[in-house]
Structure 1
Amino acid sequence: MNDLESRIRTSFDRQSMMRTLGARLALIEPGRIAITAPILPTSLQQHGAGHAGLTFSIGDSAAGYAALTLMPEAAEVMTVEMKINLMSPATGDQLVAEGRVIRPGRRIMVVAADVWAETGKTRKHVAMLQGTMIPV
């Protein structure tokens, strides 16, 4: 495990929300992160689809950690603002959030994430997020 991966995993492991959701880091690259989370019975909305809160949580974290990969070693990151477009019900076995940096900056970073619902090899695009991160 390289220094970047170790740093991201250590930070991610401190997030009790991600543990509660069963979320896992699936990809760590400079400027890119993927997070998976099962669609658990405890994460459903009233119609039986994954709750938008689950979708937003892993999308926001994927985008934030993508930003963190490009920040100095001592930095941490927080969301300044985040917009979400929910495009389709989150039905399937798991969600995959793929975060990326759109524009790195010294004071703020523009980020985005796509969230997919997966069942086996079938993948459906359920949400897009765009936001701003700030180093703290």
Structure 2
Amino acid sequence: MSPEAVQRIHDSFAAQSMMETLGARIEAVAQGNVRSAAPILPGARQQQGHGHAGLTFSLGDTAAGYAALTVLPETVEVVTAEIKINLLAPARGDRLVAVGKVIKPGRRLCVVTSEVFAEADGKASLIAILQGTMVPVPR
């Protein structure tokens, strides 16, 4: 990807106030693939002290959406049409990492997936898998 295309992804991500609130950042951008991460902050925990499923979902959805954006023209953004999540384990640890991937790109629909990992003591554990559809919309 060109440096301008990568910058476009970063700029769009930075415009999301939700990701700013969660402390999320993009860590890597490649064609059809985006990795983002967020700390499990005190305000994003559920009643047992683990990362809330809402944090897991938000981070996974966003990584998948930006993965889709990497394969689309500069004239569009994306919105989620539908996405499902399978929660596999509690979000125990210090931060979550989401890896979004494009499964099938298209001009009208992009099928995407993401895996979300919880990191604790230097180890990453898969805690969720998401699959969904992104729709390109004019910028």
The two structures share one fold, judged by TM-score above 0.5: yes
Matched residue type, 1:40: L
1:88-130 per-residue CA deviation (whole Å, 9 max, x = no partner) reads 0001010000000000011100000000000232111000000
Give the structure 2 partner of residue 66 of structure 1: 67
The CA deviation at 1:33 is 0.2
Are 1:3 and 2:4 an aligned pair? yes
Runs of 4+ in 1 over 3 A off after TM superposition: none
1:116 pairs with 2:117:
yes
List aligned pairs for 1:68-83, cutoff 5 A. 68-83=69-84
The residue aligned with 2:14 is 13
1:49 equivalent in structure 2: 50
Question: Percent of counterpart pairs with the same letter?
Answer: 57
Corresponding residue SS for 2:90 = coil
Letter in 1 for 2:95: Q
The whole-number CA distance in structure 2 between the counterparts of 1:85 and 1:112 is: 11
The one-letter amino acid of 1:31's match is G
Length, aligned pairs only: 136
RMSD: 0.9
Q: What's the TM-score, normalizing by structure 2?
A: 0.96
Q: State the shift of 1:85 in Å.
A: 0.2
Q: Which runs of 5+ in 1 are unaligned?
A: none
* Structure 2 letter corresponding to 1:72: P
TM-score, normalised via structure 1 length: 0.98
